[in-house]
Amino acid sequence: MPNTTLTYDIQRINLFDSFEASRRACDQLALGVAALFGPSHSSSVSAVQSICNALEVPHIQTRWKHPSVDNKDLFYINLYPDYAAISRAVLDLVLYYNWKTVTVVYEDSTEVTLRNEKLLPIGHPFWLH
């Protein structure tokens, strides 16, 4: 991309306000941006994703997305590690060090449920806090 300068414009929004997220996304798209990053919270990400899909603009996310979600998002890129890979890494550590208890801190309760499903049925007696 000769003679091209890449720039960024960080917009801080209320993560729980999908209207504000939509408005800011439209403002950025009106400026001619090539792609949108974020937001990271599910309350507003769907609105931005819908706009990006409609306008065929790449939407790049760094948040976890449940694998069973119907993947109709053609202009979606997720940089977040796959939940199954993270669960397997935690499980490998538990087994390697023969830990009896483990504490894992999560930001989202959905992640806890889904990742615990990968950890608990291992036939190894330990407590997951």
| Domain end call among 42, 58, 78 | 78
Q: CA-CA distance, 88 to 129, in Å (whole number)?
A: 17
What is this structure's pTM? 0.55
With 0-12 / 13-18 / 19 or more C-beta atoms within 10 angstroms meaning exposed / middle / buried, residue 44 is buried
In this prediction, residues 57-68 reach a mean pLDDT of 70
The answer as to whether 9 is a domain residue is: no
Number of domains present in the structure of the chain: 2
Q: Are 64 and 108 in contact (CB under 8 A)?
A: yes
What tens digit of pLDDT does each residue of 68-84 get?
A: 444 555 566 666 666 67
Same structural domain for residues 54 and 87? no
Last residue of a domain, one of 63, 78, 93: 78
- Counting residues of the chain whose pLDDT is more than 90, the rounded percentage is 10
Q: Where are the alpha helices (DSSP H) in the chain?
A: 18-30, 42-55, 83-97, 109-119
> Does the pLDDT value for residue 29 go beyond 90?
yes
Decide if 6 is inside a domain: no
The DSSP annotation for 86-107 comes to HHHHHHHHHHHHT-SEE----S
Query: Do 23 and 58 reside in the same domain of the chain?
Result: yes
73 within domain boundaries: yes
